[in-house]
Chain A
Amino acid sequence: MKDSEIIELYFARSEDAITETDKKHGAFCRSMTFGILGNREDSEECVNDTYMRLWEIIPPQRPEKFRAFIARIARNIALNMLGRMSAKKRGGRYGAVYDELSESIPSNENVEKRVDDKELSALLDKFLRSLDREKQLIFLKRYWYMRTVAEIAAEMSVIESKVKMVLHRTREKLREYLEKEGVQI
């Protein structure tokens, strides 16, 4: 079923909306949340919460890119869940991603401004769009979708060392970019 048709089910308040959503995007949603949370039970709970949220906000929202819309909601719910967990319980890939991304935090020297979340997102958006397609995809698959290096290499049909190199250099570039923007996180 096309995404537009699924969305119409939401507008019609048909319970099939959730079924069809799960049918088409469930695997994607589970895999993504599993990558963040690290266990199946939490991942299922997150996916259920995602569907509940979708039901609440559609309508009136009518997402244009449904998959990305679901992904954003699921990811936010998963990260929030993670925030409530104890450090011991936090598992999955989040820890590794988290440590890697710490390298991109700009140093506090020469800081001009503290940006709010919206501004920070806009800066990151701009940075990502300045990258070429391959680097962009690799970076997003790692730090947005929490894919492993091996999974990214397989999806992108490249070797793992290349993925690691691209990630490393892009993290460096991001740090330089944020420092140049005078951003304090």
Chain B
Amino acid sequence: MNERADRLLKALGNIGEDLIDKAAPVYPADSGAGGSVRKVATAIYEPEVKITKKDLRIYWITRALGMAAVAALIVGAVVLLVQNWDKIAVSGGERPGTIVKYIDELPDISEAYGKTIEFSDASVRFSSVAYDGTRLNTNFYLLYKGNDEFYSPALWINVEGAEHGDPSCGINPVMEADSYDYLIQSSVPVDLEPGKSYAINIVYKGSGNRENDTQKYRFNCPDIPVVTAVTTTNDPYLTSAVEPLIEPAEADTFEQITDTSMPEPFAVNENPTVYGGTDGWHDNFYDLWKKDFYAIDERLQELAGFERASEIIAGYKAEESADNEAGNITRYKLDDTQNRYRFIMDAGLSAEEVERALRGTDNTRGGMVDPDILVTFASKEETVKEHMTDYCIAVGEYVFSPKWLYYHTIEDYKAAGIDPYSMHSLLEKYSELGLSEEAWRAFRRKLILYAYSEMYPEKDRVYTYELDTSEPLGDDAFRIFEDMFCGEWEYAGKYDHHDASFDMTYGGTSFKFGRIFGIFETDEIYVIRYNDGGGVLMCFVIEKSSPDIMYNTDVLTSLGGIEEIKLGDDEWVKYINRKPAAAELKPGDLSIPGLTYLFHLYGSDFEDYYRAVIERDSYQSISEDENLYIGNGHILDDFWQYLVDMSENSVVLALPYVHDTQTAHQTPVYYELTFTKDESGEWSVTYNRSGEVYERADY
């Protein structure tokens, strides 16, 4: 006997009991000990239904015909597409002219034309504006509130009074009617003079040029409206060419801690001589500068004279000691913290001296390298950006550390001009700071609220879903949906669109959203996951839809190890907490949420059984007299399933059946399937052809 095969067979015996149980054949209960071995039932669910050879023949022939038809359709579509490529029109409300696929030269279209939308129809809100000496880099939100849907292929930035190159921001999608808030990032080459103010215009072009690596397009849309929005002096933007955002007088107040409600950031280290925290002494939380920039290079000290250098550095240390003693100081400027830049300035060293002493050295010896020298003497903004730690945020020449953010309020963030959108990239990083759980919760909430309240000032409700996982989510996916019946978490590997109030599917590193009641992907719902070593996932739902949508706090355990989801009790949250008992499943349409609710109600045995029945009915006719298979949304124009009745151990569903599985637009025949659970917990089903006309539930 082959021992290895034997060993494999025996090892199979000790797999999980759930697997063993799942695969167990089903037998009717035996009468007693000593009975003869029974013949196995030929089918688990409907012994009377037999697959005949005729059924199989029909099935395979139909399948082959269907596949041939699909192939023919695809080939035909490709042929049509190729033949008519040039005639394809752009979609959109106001139908524009045709796109020319390829032209040799791009005509110069510098003047906007077409009708103009009133200014109130659209507004521009700048998130950030920065000028790096050659390019104007902006983030702005374009909110369109017009009633006409239009397609505009080109968005331009026009800086009044400046010479600039190609102003195109690129292609924009179809602007849909009524409130479309779209974040646009652009970078346009422009020459700005220092000390001069500029107005920035955002212009939608009715026509324009677009060019990518392989194709050139010219759009000719004479009827497309044009939007012009002009910035105002109240817009918070900052370039090196205009007045600084923060006046020095205001800036001085930022040194003092203003948010005294924050808990201690770190758990008490009982042995302070031991290296603590995820990053040593929590440097990433406190530090403004990268280590090399903080330390004063020996060569610079030598250049300044060691005695003079010692005095200067001693002064820096004294400041730090005083800050530590006071306990309530957070620094944020190049000029009042220890760093190489400040030392060079304080020591009165010239660029030439520094360059002469340090050019050619490499950083492995702790010295400055050429790019460092150039940056240091370029501008404060550049110096800050180049040398601050990865955990800091810069606004012009001001740099804000995690400590600063931690101990200051959202109002301080606003006054400092911190770009709320930059909070996104920091959140994941900040989860690694090693803060205590309480501290991290408080900090995270503040950061997220700032990010979203600033991004969506017009939204009146922000719901937060905060989820602690006991195990890492990894690439597990989950789905949140709220529906008319109840709110649940469910494990789902893919995105499904259905008639819920909102539907969000998250899978691994990406997430998708259902577009329901005007909730759009980029606007309303955001999932932030960070620190996925059994970490926290936070979902924000910014409600813009019907105020009648209720949100439920009850959830199910999903396969991904998610145990519970709680709605935040933040003051932003305005919702009514419904209990599951109040969420009633009424006879009528059985949507996917409703079906999921049934599975929840009747348990996984019911779900397994139901799915097995549906699977079987999809290719095995339920009748010997005629072909009848379960219909689906691919075949049926209106694919409705109905809940007819339900009780403790029974549920009656009306499901559509069709005569073949390939032909579209069939009229279904409804069968009432009565699912019944017996005393032993086993489910069975009976079929009853129904003559009823089913009505949709009245929501």
Which A residues have a C-beta under 8 Å from some C-beta of B? Answer: 1-2, 18-19, 22-28, 30-31, 34, 40, 43-44, 47-48, 63-65, 67-69, 71-72, 75-76, 79, 83, 87, 97-99, 101-102, 104-105, 117-118, 120-121, 124-125, 128-129, 136-137, 140-141, 143-145, 147, 151, 154-155, 157, 159, 185
Contacts and interface: CB of A to CB of B under 8 A. Distances in A.
B6 A98 contact: yes
Interface of B: 1-2, 4-38, 40-44, 51, 56, 615-616, 620, 679-681
B9 A141 contact: no
Contacts of A63: 17
Contact of A159 (B9, B22, B31, B56): B56
B211 to A, nearest CB: 46
A104 B38 contact: no
The listed residue with most B CB atoms (<10 A of its CB), out of A68, A83, A151, is A68
A48 B22 CA distance: 24
A65 B5 CA distance: 27
A117 B15 CA distance: 11
A143 B12 contact: yes
Contact of A31 (B14, B16, B40, B44): B40
Q: Chain B contact residues: over half helix, strand or loop, or mixed?
A: loop
A64 to B, nearest CB: 7
B462 to A, nearest CB: 39
Nearest to A64: B17
B20 A26 contact: no
B37 A30 contact: yes
B15 A155 contact: no
A137 B17 contact: no
A72 B9 contact: no
Given A30-B37, A137-B22, A121 B11 contact: yes
Contacts of A136: 19, 22-23
A75 B13 contact: yes
Nearest to B21: A68
A102 B34 contact: no
A72 B20 contact: yes
Nearest to B27: A27
B181 to A, nearest CB: 42
B19 A140 contact: yes
Nearest to B9: A101
B24 A101 contact: no
A122 B620 CA distance: 37
B40 A141 contact: no
A14 B37 CA distance: 26
A31 B38 contact: yes
A90 to B, nearest CB: 8
26 contacts: A2-B679, A19-B33, A24-B680, A30-B37, A40-B36, A43-B37, A65-B18, A65-B21, A72-B13, A72-B14, A72-B17, A83-B6, A97-B9, A99-B5, A101-B5, A104-B8, A117-B10, A117-B11, A124-B12, A128-B19, A144-B13, A144-B20, A145-B24, A154-B40, A155-B40, A185-B7
A178 B13 CA distance: 17
B20 A23 contact: no
A24 B14 contact: no
A43 B34 CA distance: 10
Contacts of A147: 25, 40
Nearest to B47: A154
A67 B24 contact: yes
B20 A28 contact: no
B24 A71 contact: yes
Contacts of A27: 27-30, 35, 37-38
Contact of A128 (B15, B17, B43, B616): B15
A157 B616 contact: yes
B19 A129 contact: yes
A121 B14 CA distance: 6
B14 A101 contact: no
Given A24-B680, A98-B2, A157-B43, A125 B30 contact: no
A93 B665 CA distance: 48
Given A24-B29, A68-B21, A136-B19, A79 B13 contact: yes
A22 B5 contact: no
A120 B11 contact: yes
Nearest to B1: A87
A64 B18 CA distance: 10
Given A26-B33, A27-B38, A128-B19, A98 B5 contact: yes
Contact of B32 (A19, A43, A64, A128): A19
Given A31-B25, A65-B17, A154-B41, 8 more contacts: A23-B29, A26-B30, A26-B33, A31-B37, A47-B33, A101-B9, A125-B16, A125-B19
The listed residue with most B CB atoms (<10 A of its CB), out of A87, A140, A147, is A140
A175 B21 CA distance: 24
A23 B30 contact: yes
A105 B19 contact: no
A31 B36 CA distance: 9
A23 B38 contact: no
A137 B23 contact: yes
Nearest to A138: B23
The listed residue with most B CB atoms (<10 A of its CB), out of A43, A97, A125, is A125
A174 B36 CA distance: 36
A136 B26 CA distance: 17
Contacts of A98: 2, 5-6, 9
Given A124-B12, A144-B12, A28 B19 contact: no
The listed residue with most A CB atoms (<10 A of its CB), out of B1, B27, B36, B616, is B27
Contact of A151 (B6, B25, B51): B25
A124 B19 CA distance: 11
Nearest to A90: B1
Contact of A185 (B8, B20, B21, B36): B8
Nearest to B612: A157
A121 B23 CA distance: 17
A25 to B, nearest CB: 8
A155 B44 contact: yes
B35 A30 contact: yes
B33 A22 contact: yes
A18 B34 CA distance: 12
A153 B66 CA distance: 25
Contacts of B21: 65, 67-68, 71
A2 B20 CA distance: 19
A34 B679 CA distance: 28
A18 B19 CA distance: 25
Contact of A23 (B10, B19, B32): B32
Contacts of A2: 679-681
A183 B681 CA distance: 41
A72 B22 CA distance: 13
